[in-house]
């Protein structure tokens, strides 16, 4: 069984592009080695991540990530098991619309992409449901989704 874990956190205000590249680089190297896949998103100064793989390895990585000073308020939202890894081909999607992309059109484009991903992704496990629910909550807050 594949163990899945999803959490949210808040990026420190001084988070720079260099920090983002460093996180991405470590993630690509380590996760590949540990056979952990997932998806990481930075939107509106908040991180959303889903990690999946061997249970002990995922939990160990999560403990390490939790101690990272580049974010705080790390909150576990859900854990679940899946028959197969669901985010194997995603790589770690990483988009920062709060610091580097100041062009409102870029932000809007990104929000449209998020909405599309959210609607196209088949959500079969608790972790997936919660990963996308938290992102959707932020889109509603920013009035990208109007009820
Ligand atoms: C929001 C966030 C997500 C992260 N995700 C991962 C991850 O998926 N894999 C990983 O190895 N490190 C991740 N990191 C970085 C780790 O906290 C840590 O810096 C890194 O694993 C150290 O490994 P290194 O010494 O090989 O660079 C993340 C950090 C943050 C702030």
Query: Where exactly are the structural domains of the chain?
Result: 2-141
Residue 68: the pLDDT is 98
CA 103-90-29 angle, 5° bins: 95
CATH topology of domain 2-141: Alpha-Beta Plaits (3.30.70)
Residue 44: the pLDDT is 87
Which residue shows structure tokens 């390895």? 57
Does the C-beta of 65 come closer than 6 Å to ligand 1? yes
d(CA 25, CA 125): 28
Does the C-beta of 75 come closer than 6 Å to ligand 1? no
Does the C-beta of 58 come closer than 6 Å to ligand 1? no
* Helix and strand element counts for the chain (H, E): 4, 4
pTM listed for this prediction: 0.92
> What is the CA(55)–ligand 1 centre distance, in A?
17
Residue 102: the pLDDT is 65
Residue 66: the pLDDT is 98
> What is the CA(65)–ligand 1 centre distance, in A?
5
Residue 5: the pLDDT is 97
Does the C-beta of 71 come closer than 6 Å to ligand 1? yes
> What is the CA(51)–ligand 1 centre distance, in A?
12
Residue 20: the pLDDT is 87
> Which residues touch 89 (CB under 8 Å, ≥6 apart)?
none
Residue 28: the pLDDT is 87
* 121-to-5, 6, 25, 33, 128 alpha-carbon distances in Å: 17, 16, 25, 26, 9
Residues of the chain with pLDDT under 50: none
Handedness of CA 24, 42, 114, 57 (dihedral sign): positive
d(CA 124, CA 82): 8
Does the C-beta of 43 come closer than 6 Å to ligand 1? no
């Amino acid at each position: 069984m594949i163990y899945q874990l999803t959490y949210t956190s808040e990026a420190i205000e001084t988070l720079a592009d260099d920090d983002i590249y460093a996180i991405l680089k470590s993630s690509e190297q380590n996760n590949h080695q540990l056979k952990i896949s997932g998806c990481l998103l930075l939107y509106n100064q908040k991180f959303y991540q889903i990690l999946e793989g061997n249970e002990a390895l995922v939990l160990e990585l999560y403990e390490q990530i939790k101690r990272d000073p580049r974010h705080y308020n790390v909150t576990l939202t859900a854990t679940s098991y899946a028959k197969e890894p669901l985010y194997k081909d995603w790589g770690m999607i990483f988009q920062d619309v709060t610091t580097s992309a100041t062009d409102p059109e870029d932000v809007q484009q990104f929000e449209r992409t998020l909405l599309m991903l959210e609607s196209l992704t088949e959500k079969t496990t608790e972790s997936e449901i919660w990963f996308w629910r938290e992102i959707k909550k932020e889109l509603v807050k920013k009035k990208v989704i109007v009820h």
